[in-house]
Amino acid sequence: MYGFSTIPSKDLGKEPDLEAGNGETLYPGLGLGENQLRWGLIQKVYGILAAQLVITTIVSSVTVLYAPVNELLRGSPGLLLFLCVVPFILLWPLHVYHQKHPVNLIVLGLFTVSLSFLVGASCANTDGKIVLEALILTSAVVCSLTAYTFWAAKRGMDFSFMGPILFTSLMILVLTSFIQVFCPLGSTSTAVIGGISALVFSGYIVYDTDNLIKRYTYDQYILASVALYLDILNLFLTILRVLRQGDN
């Protein structure tokens, strides 16, 4: 019922099958063959996600530490606006070609690099201590929520109900951000909105991890990695903004 199986004595000395997740069933009712395929998908998605985060770290570090790049972004509002628009444009080919190799990886690389420059620009305008605090907090939240989601899924819990709630909350946050452009809110209101944003993106990490475990098909590894990457990136930027506001 909970994924335990009787292991023949002749198999006790064998090495665990990593593709099968060391024999652990991801959630109740999942067959052995499908369990192995799901673990393979999860490993592939987290491998791609790790590569995206490494690229983001490298590009952001170059943006912050290499003066010519930093000055170029600071002195070129048009370039920053272009970098803001590029990820939205690349979402379309990412969705259309997510099954076509190697086009999907090329588009994913461009998508990651363009967002990495924006992350670097945000970090360049923030004290290094605050950036480090945001990085540590984001890492702790992501690891904790990911571990919790796998633990909960194994015990039969389902988080698909969170989809409509999170989407509605995200639309409200987007609308609020748009209103702030014309009617700036006070520091307290900004901090409260930042806290709510952090909760929403934390919820998305749980929701998208649950989708990875149960609902993403085996050829949707690009879409799954993009979803989790955006969740982590948005959570980091939200925490960074809240800490920066508190420091001010």
Per-residue pLDDT of the chain (248 residues; tens, 9 = 90+): 334 333 344 443 444 343 444 456 888 888 888 889 999 999 999 999 999 999 999 999 888 888 788 778 777 778 888 888 888 999 999 988 888 888 989 999 999 999 998 898 888 878 888 989 999 999 999 999 999 999 999 999 999 999 999 999 999 998 988 887 777 777 777 778 888 999 999 999 999 999 999 989 888 999 999 999 999 999 999 999 888 876 66
Q: Which two tokens stand for residue 118?
A: 């924006």
Question: pTM (2 decimals)?
Answer: 0.85
Q: Which two tokens stand for residue 245?
A: 């506001």
Confidence at residue 248, expressed as pLDDT on a 0 to 100 scale? 61
Confidence at residue 247, expressed as pLDDT on a 0 to 100 scale? 64
How far apart, in Å, are the Cα atoms of 244 and each of 55, 123, 124, 143, 179? 24, 10, 12, 23, 21
Q: For residues 108 and 112, give the distance between their C-alpha atoms in angstroms, rounded to a whole number.
A: 6
Nearest Cα to 124, choosing from 78, 79, 59?
A: 59
Q: Which two tokens stand for residue 186?
A: 């006070």
The Cβ-side half-sphere exposure at 154, using a 13 Å CA radius, reads 14
Q: For residues 64 and 67, give the distance between their C-alpha atoms in angstroms, rounded to a whole number.
A: 7
Q: Which residues of 209-226 are buried (b: 16+ CB within 10 A; e: fewer)?
A: bbbbbeebeeebbbbbbb
In this structure, are residues 69 and 126 in contact, taking their beta carbons and an 8 Å threshold?
no
Confidence at residue 18, expressed as pLDDT on a 0 to 100 scale? 38
Residue 56: CB atoms within 10 Å: 22
What ranges do the domains of the chain cover?
A: 9-247
